[in-house]
Amino acid sequence: MLQHLIQPSFEYGSTSSSMGSGNFHLCVEFGSCYLSILVFDDHKVPISIEAYTLKEGVDVYTLEYILQNEKYKNIHFANVFLVANGPDNCLIPDKYFKTHLVESIYKSIQGDASEVHIAHDEVDKWELMNVYGVDKFIYHFMMEQFPQTKILHFVSLGLNTVFKNNLEDLDAFMKLYFSPNYLTILLVKGAQLQFAQSVYYETAEDAIYQVLNLIEKHDMDLSTVKTLVSGHIDADSSTWKELRKYILDIDFEDSLIEQFVTDDSLSVSSHFFTPHLQVLQCV
């Protein structure tokens, strides 16, 4: 990949604050084919958001190239968060969790072919522990550059935002977060978590099948499941049109980015930013 050609797929920059004064915090979120860089202030107001779609995958060299940009390299960040957003995580009831078994738990489910740093999050509101892997090279780079880095997983943060923002809907509720090639699904029935995982898809038919199969498997009524959708999905896409055919109570999840935008400079719809901004609620 020619790194000088790397450009954000979409971005946002606040005009009300400038990089270089006050306390700033950094959040790096990455999946298999996308990367986002968020800078925010002490009040968790976004100062800068850049999202990259990388067809050849995310690697440490691309991350280093982006963070060495003049925009970031001279800033001292008070806090730094590295958020892994991949399918290689497993949720375990906290009463069965033992720290010394983390590596065995991960490798027994995910195997040991990938070079990863194994981490875990406490998802206390759901009485769960989330065990997952973080690319070893990205992990070491972040810890060397920013020793204060805290590691988190996107599913852990997503579950926290559901509990924080959607308690009244938990009788039959689903969140769909779209990222390049992956769909993260959070499904709740009767206030009990049924599913929280990222699944691979290539076409609209793949995504629809995954969703409908889950609804049927958990004996839920499509007419009553409240569904919120956000992430990398266009309102005129075949995926969105198909979802609306099957699910009656469905809508895009609004993004708080609208509160900070003072003009029409956004190149994409505000719901593209929703997953990235929701991360800020819980880091």
Tell me the pTM.
Answer: 0.90
Query: What pLDDT does 1 receive?
Result: 46
Q: Which two tokens stand for residue 77?
A: 């960040």
Query: What pLDDT does 246 receive?
Result: 92
Q: Per-block average pLDDT, block size 10, for the chain (283 residues)?
A: 68 63 86 92 87 89 88 88 93 91 85 83 93 95 95 95 84 94 94 93 90 94 92 92 92 75 65 82 76
Q: Which two tokens stand for residue 22?
A: 């006050």
**Number of Cβ within a 10 Å radius of residue 263:** 6
Domains of the chain: 24-154+256-283 (3.30.420.250), 166-252 (3.30.420.260)
Query: What pLDDT does 19 receive?
Result: 53
Where b means 16+ CB within 10 Å and e means fewer, 27-56 reads: bbbbbbbbbbbbbbbeeeebbbbbbbbbee
Estimate the share of the chain in helix, then strand, then coil, as percent rounded to the nearest 5.
35, 35, 35
CB neighbour class for 232 (10 Å; exposed up to 12, middle 13-18, buried from 19):
buried
Q: What is the pLDDT of residues 236-259, one digit of tens each?
A: 999 999 999 999 999 999 776 666
